[in-house]
Amino acid sequence: MNGLLALPALLLMALVFGWPMLRYSWLSMHASSVLTGLEPVSNQGANWIRLLEDARFWQDAVQTLRFAALSVGLEIVLALAMALLLDQRWRGRGVVRALSLLPWALPTTMMALGWRWIFNTPYGPLEQMAQSAGLSPLNLLSNPDWTWLATVMADVWKTTPFITLLLLAGLQTIPDDLYSAFRLEGGKTRQALTAITLPLLTPYILIGILFRTAQAAGVFDLIQVLTGGGPAGSTESIAQYAYLNAMRFLDFGYSATVMLAGFVLLSLVIFTAAVLLQISGLLRPLKS
Amino acid sequence: MPLMRRLLLMLMGLLLAGSIGWSSVHRPEQVTILMPAPFVDATADQVKRFNAENNGRIALNVIRGPRDTESISDLAISSLLLGTPPFDALLVDVTWLPKYVAADWLQPLDPWFDSDDIESLVAGAQLGNSVDGALYRWPFGADVGLLYWRKDLMPEPPQTAEELIQIAQNLRAEGRVKEGFVWQGRQYEGLSCNFVEFLSAFGGTWLDPETGQPTFDSEAARLTAHWMQQLITQGTSPLAVSNYSEPETLQAFKSGDAALMRNWPYAWAELQSESSAVKGRVGVSTMVAQPGASPAATLGSWGFSLLRGSPHQQATAEAIRALTSPDAQRDRFLRQGYTPTHAALFHDPELLEASPVLPQLEEALSIAEPRPITPLYAQMSDLLQRQLSGLLTEKRDPDQAMDQLQGATLTLLRSAGGVS
Amino acid sequence: MNRSRPLWIALLLIWSLLPMLWQLITSLTSSDALVNADIPFQQRWTLAHYRELLSGDPPFWRYLFNSSLVGGLSTLLTLLLAVPAAYGIARMAPASRRTIRTVVGAAALFPYVLLFLALLELAREFQMGNNLLAIALPYAGLALPLALLLLISAFEGLPNELDDAARLEGLGVVDRLRWVLMPLIAPATASTGILVFLFAWNEYPIALTWLSRDDLLTLPVAMARIAGSSIYAVPYGAYAAATVLGSLPLLVLVLLCQRQIVAGLTNGAVKG
């Protein structure tokens, strides 16, 4: 009976999450492009051979990973600061918390446009400030070496509130007595951070890292609208490349291959991270 | 009374039927065409004129698409993939045509444009419109790559690859010009366009015309790759060329810093403007070619294609004809500098007066070379751009680069279901 | 720390709100003033961008309507599926419950943009494209993991006696849910509903591939399209106006329901 109640929901989920993975696995072993009328024709793994030699895919993989790494790293640090601030009791905290949530609530593509303007050369506010400070043009969106940093900034702005809430929840599970006891034993307030807070917060931080890394690996909306993958493909992500292969090049077979490969890479990264964390003992607090 | 009432009802019925029939006859046929934003503005007057002339019969409505070239195609494809395009025709770039045809989205235009119409087009404009013998696109403009040269620095434009290097190097050595030859070397579609011309100079073609296979392992391709790299390593072209697209190239030439430039026809008007340092001292020619090889000018152009599912095919064809008529072409050339497609216009006194390089344009059009006509063009071009860019910026070995490119292109063909 | 707190609070607010405030300012600045910093203060302001947006074709409010419709439908469908499912799962044996939770949790982590191709194929196959009703299906599917996690915890928090008592009184499952249990988990349901609505409103890749007709676009897709469509490089006044108008419903929603949102997110995170 219980199973019956859950069946429709689980079926829909299986359809939406499970079917694509099965389909991609099969499709990636076939040629399904405009040349085949989008009908799958077996090509004996030629898609995978092509992927292994595909410089653009590997470049995108590196770019996606570095974007995720920097983004998540900055977000955790920033969110921790914000959470510590919001955890204390002061007047108007609720309002400030609500306001700090706003970046997260807005559609990414919408604010991406906003960021395009903020970073715009020569008319955007950042460029204007640089000009009045006498600096040479920043060209934040047309520099193949640094534009990805602009995308990181926009991403950090949008998703930090989410992690802040997560860490806040964690902070609120730490009983106050621990802090009082610590202080009684002569510990300074600042040391409490590293002695008590961080260790107990670790599970939440890890969940945050896990969740955000998975999300960041699939970054699409932001890059699509903020930079379109440029300049010179320096901000292009795996998801974008997969999208291009399907919607611009009309090569469904290869698009499926790219997405599957992206998924495999992501799983590898997360698995490696989990193993490393296990080894380094950072997972210990979870056990206690 | 019943009779009167019956008569009245019949009358009302007749009137109703008549008015329905009347309105369906008199409601103008809606024709919708999707164009990139710049072209919408360029054709605004012609659209208005067409609607006025066909008042009540056909109502032409233009959808303003994104400014960016590829975005227009993305927009169209997203509708076409779902099977419900909200337009009857669209402007198609010459490199997309094979893809759209292979996807079975286009209706052949042969019923409305016959061989006489095709003959009336200038040579280059006749290319890139047909796939497998059927006409799928009616050209809107005709763009080809040109070699611009400084009349005050050399008596004649270079004819061969060696001459080009020699002239450029001499001029630089004499200090008469800062850079020799500027062209588009950035990693983007423009690089592929330049490559097609350079490759033809050495007697090669991207795809073998008979087998449709890439020929990067040919002698011609190797020579081309070496030559392109040498342009930079020997200083004929500045290193910055590896990051140039059309605007940067034009800027360098316009300010008088370069002796030779490869660019599209639009540059001419810019070079004759008041802000140009080389006004009146520029000549236009075609790209160089080795003895025994024929020079080529890469074909780039937009054209109208009719969508297969359109319920207004006749009306749309009429609209297309009107927007590309000789008068419309003349109008656009005089006002915005769009190269005409009608052969007769190239000898028109009014146009010749406005632009004395029309004859050179015509000559270049006669050696127009389309980029590979294959649905996989975009991916092939991407592979080419990457290798070439590596050649130019990281000094990769040209022979190796060409071999890699050959292998990668073959893998691409195999993975996408093409013959290999 | 206490003394410098106001400074930190101010920084937090500036960081969070400045980009949006900048959009507001930009939306009210005339196109000329956007590219010319020398135009005097009094002459810089205009409502032209808003007028343009609201009189456009289709008018801007149409996108807000589409997004609301899709959001509402998706939320309804998700809750319809998730509530009974969560109830059932919460009552399962701990072992199966944990398995399902893990699977659902993994699905919640999944970067769903990677699903777009298969879903697009389904849309093509079953003619579900350009249909605001049909798109609620994949949206519900994508939102179910989060919804399930939240609601399962909510149901687990209820004492079993209530349900047993109601059953003894002869109430069937539907009635039990409707009259006894759902009122008790109303806060969790509200949180879930709001979060699902936010998700559906902000979703981009599926909407991008399933919707192509101008008048059916949801807000994120419409914004991305507006981005590319001008001949000039700087129609930022119009963008900004679109951003402001597009954000208003969400801002209102978030400010009004921030408690539920926060509760939902933290519960989902903690229990999930």
- Interhelix angle A252-280/A19-27, rounded to 10 degrees, is 120
Give how far B139 is from chain A: nearest CA, Å: 22
In terms of domains, do C135 and C214 share one?
yes
In terms of domains, do C225 and C92 share one?
yes
Nearest CA in chain A to B82: A247
Domain B143-299+376-415: CATH architecture, name and number where available = 3-Layer(aba) Sandwich (3.40)
A248: nearest CB among B70, B102, B417: B70
Q: What percent of chain B has pLDDT over 90?
A: 66
Phi, psi of B310 (to 5 degrees): -65, 130
A248: nearest CB among B186, B378, B386: B378
Contact C261, C195 (CB under 8 A): yes
Contacts of B69 (CB under 8 A, 6+ apart): B36, B93
Q: What does the pLDDT read at residue A122? A: 72
Query: Could you tell me the pLDDT band of residue A288, with boundaries at 50, 70 and 90?
Result: very low
The more confident residue out of A58 and B394 is A58
Interface test with B, best of C229, C232, C236, C239 (most B CBs within 10 A): C229
- Integer Cα distance of B409 and B21 in angstroms: 58
Does residue B404 register a pLDDT over 50? yes
Average pLDDT over residues B273-296: 91
C144: nearest CB among A12, A204, A210: A12
Assigned token pair, C58: 């289709």
pLDDT digits (tens, 9 = 90+) for A124-159: 888 888 888 888 877 788 788 889 999 999 999 999
Phi, psi of B128 (to 5 degrees): 75, 10
Average pLDDT over residues A68-96: 90
pLDDT digits (tens, 9 = 90+) for B183-192: 999 888 999 9
Give how far C119 is from chain B: nearest CA, Å: 12
How many CB pairs (< 8 A) connect B and C?
Answer: 45
Query: Could you tell me the pLDDT band of residue B395, with boundaries at 50, 70 and 90?
Result: confident
Give the DSSP H/E element, type plus range, for residue B65.
strand B58-65
Does C124 contact B75 at a Cβ distance shorter than 8 Å?
A: no
Assigned token pair, A266: 């992501």
Does B67 contact C228 at a Cβ distance shorter than 8 Å?
A: yes
pLDDT digits (tens, 9 = 90+) for C142-200: 999 999 999 998 888 888 888 788 888 887 777 777 777 888 888 889 989 999 999 99
Determine contact: A231 vs chain B, CB below 8 A. no
Strands B29-36 and B89-93: parallel
In terms of domains, do C180 and C119 share one?
yes
The more confident residue out of B337 and A268 is A268
* Neighbours, chain A (3 or more CB pairs < 8 A): B, C
Q: What percent of chain A has pLDDT over 70?
A: 97
Edge-to-edge strands of the sheet including B368-369? B143-144, B297-300, B368-369
Enter the DSSP assignment of B121: B
Does A101 contact C258 at a Cβ distance shorter than 8 Å?
A: yes
Q: What does the pLDDT read at residue A240? A: 94
Contact A7, A1 (CB under 8 A): no
Beta bridge partners of A31: A41
Q: Is residue C52 part of a domain?
A: no
Phi, psi of B183 (to 5 degrees): -155, 180
In terms of domains, do C79 and C167 share one?
yes
Average pLDDT over residues B67-79: 84
* Neighbours, chain B (3 or more CB pairs < 8 A): A, C
Query: Could you tell me the pLDDT band of residue B13, with boundaries at 50, 70 and 90?
Result: confident
Q: What does the pLDDT read at residue C271? A: 56
Does C85 contact A8 at a Cβ distance shorter than 8 Å?
A: yes
Of the candidates B353, B375, B159, B144, which has an alpha carbon nearest to the alpha carbon of residue B266?
Answer: B144
In terms of domains, do C241 and C158 share one?
yes
Give the DSSP H/E element, type plus range, for residue B59.
strand B58-65
The more confident residue out of B65 and C245 is C245
Determine contact: A251 vs chain B, CB below 8 A. yes
In terms of domains, do C199 and C74 share one?
yes
- The residue written with tokens 């050959």 in the block is B406
Does C111 contact A97 at a Cβ distance shorter than 8 Å?
A: no
Contact C247, A110 (CB under 8 A): yes
Query: Could you tell me the pLDDT band of residue A285, with boundaries at 50, 70 and 90?
Result: very low
**CA A219 → CA A66, A153, C4, distances in Å?**
12, 13, 36
CB atoms within 10 A of CB B290: 18
In terms of domains, do C41 and C91 share one?
no
Q: What does the pLDDT read at residue A284? A: 52
Contact A247, A38 (CB under 8 A): no
Q: What does the pLDDT read at residue C255? A: 84
B375: nearest CB among A35, A53, A247: A35
Determine contact: B210 vs chain A, CB below 8 A. no
Give how far C65 is from chain A: nearest CA, Å: 15
**Residues of chain C contacting residue A125, judged by C-beta atoms under 8 Å apart:** 22
Q: What does the pLDDT read at residue C231? A: 41
> Does this complex have an ipTM over 0.90?
no
Of the candidates C250, C251, C231, C228, which has an alpha carbon nearest to the alpha carbon of residue C239?
Answer: C228
Q: Is residue C108 part of a domain?
A: yes
Q: According to the 3-state scheme, what is the secondary structure of A209-268? A: HHHHHHHHHCCCHHHHHHCCCCCCCCCCCHHHHHHHHHHCCCEHHHHHHHHHHHHHHHHH
- Integer Cα distance of B71 and A283 in angstroms: 47
Q: What does the pLDDT read at residue A71? A: 96
CATH code of the domain occupying A44-287: 1.10.3720.10
Total domains, chain C: 2
Determine contact: A47 vs chain B, CB below 8 A. yes
Does A251 contact B103 at a Cβ distance shorter than 8 Å?
A: no
- Integer Cα distance of B238 and B322 in angstroms: 45
In terms of domains, do C119 and C242 share one?
yes
C144: nearest CB among A13, A173, A214: A13
Could you tell me the CATH number of the domain that includes residue C78? 1.10.3720.10
Q: What does the pLDDT read at residue B166? A: 93
Domain extent for C15: 1-46
DSSP symbols for chain A: -HHHHHHHHHHHHIIIIIHHHHHHHHHTTEE-BGGGTT--EE-TTHHHHHHHH-HHHHHHHHHHHHHHHHHHHHHHHHHHHHHHHHHS--TTHHHHHHHHHHHHHS-HHHHHHHHHHHT-TTTSHHHHHHHHTTPPP--TTS-TTTHHHHHHHHHHHHHHHHHHHHHHHHHHTS-HHHHHHHHHTT--HHHHIIIIIHHHHHHHHHHHHHHHHHHHHT--HHHHHHTTT-STTSS--HHHHHHHHHHTS-BHHHHHHHHHHHHHHHHHHHHHHHHHHHHHTTTHHHH-
Does B67 contact C231 at a Cβ distance shorter than 8 Å?
A: yes
Handedness of CA B314, B319, B324, B326 (dihedral sign): positive
A247: nearest CB among B77, B382, B417: B77
Q: What does the pLDDT read at residue B34? A: 92
**Residues of chain B contacting residue A253, judged by C-beta atoms under 8 Å apart:** 415-417
Determine contact: A50 vs chain C, CB below 8 A. no
SS3 state at B146: strand
Give the DSSP H/E element, type plus range, for residue B62.
strand B58-65
The total number of residues shown for chain C amounts to 272
Q: What does the pLDDT read at residue C53? A: 81
Give how far C222 is from chain A: nearest CA, Å: 9
Phi, psi of B65 (to 5 degrees): -95, 180
User: What average pLDDT is seen over chain A?
Assistant: 87
Average pLDDT over residues B329-356: 89
Nearest CA in chain C to A167: C266
Determine contact: B222 vs chain A, CB below 8 A. no
Q: Is residue C190 part of a domain?
A: yes
Interface test with B, best of A27, A29, A33 (most B CBs within 10 A): A33
Does residue A282 register a pLDDT over 70? no
A113: nearest CB among C8, C15, C239: C239
* Neighbours, chain C (3 or more CB pairs < 8 A): A, B
- Integer Cα distance of B420 and B409 in angstroms: 10
Torsion angle of alpha carbons B280, B281, B285, B288, nearest 10°? -160
Query: Could you tell me the pLDDT band of residue B26, with boundaries at 50, 70 and 90?
Result: low
**CA B165 → CA A271, B202, B225, distances in Å?**
56, 15, 15
Does A55 contact B81 at a Cβ distance shorter than 8 Å?
A: no
A219: amino acid identity, one letter: V
Contacts of A2 (CB under 8 A, 6+ apart): C87, C88, C89, C91, C92
CATH code of the domain occupying B28-142+301-358: 3.40.190.10
**B205-210 long-range CB contacts below 8 Å, 24 or more apart?**
B206/B371, B206/B372, B206/B380, B206/B384, B207/B372, B207/B374
Does B37 contact C230 at a Cβ distance shorter than 8 Å?
A: yes
- The residue written with tokens 């002339």 in the block is B53
Of the candidates A229, A227, A68, A87, which has an alpha carbon nearest to the alpha carbon of residue A156?
Answer: A68
Q: What does the pLDDT read at residue A125? A: 84
CB atoms within 10 A of CB B174: 9
Nearest 5°: the CA angle C144, C149, C154 is: 120
Q: What is the mean pLDDT of each run of 10 residues along chain C (272 residues)?
A: 78 91 88 76 82 81 93 96 91 88 89 93 92 95 93 86 81 78 86 92 94 90 75 67 87 85 74 54
In terms of domains, do C208 and C262 share one?
yes
Give how far B63 is from chain C: nearest CA, Å: 10
Nearest 5°: the CA angle A126, A128, A130 is: 70
Q: Per mean pLDDT, which range of A52-56, A119-123, B58-62 is the poorest?
A: A119-123
Contacts of B129 (CB under 8 A, 6+ apart): B97, B135, B136, B137, B138, B139, B303
Does residue A78 register a pLDDT over 90? yes
Residue spans of the domains in chain B: they are: 28-142+301-358, 143-299+376-415
Contact C163, C181 (CB under 8 A): yes
Count Cβ atoms within 10 A of the Cβ of residue B23 and give its class: 0-12 exposed, 13-18 middle, 19 or more buried. exposed
Nearest CA in chain A to C79: A9
**Residues of chain C contacting residue B65, judged by C-beta atoms under 8 Å apart:** 229
B386: nearest CB among A32, A34, A55: A55
Does B84 contact C213 at a Cβ distance shorter than 8 Å?
A: yes
- Integer Cα distance of B356 and B125 in angstroms: 20
Does C9 contact A85 at a Cβ distance shorter than 8 Å?
A: yes
Does residue A286 register a pLDDT over 50? no
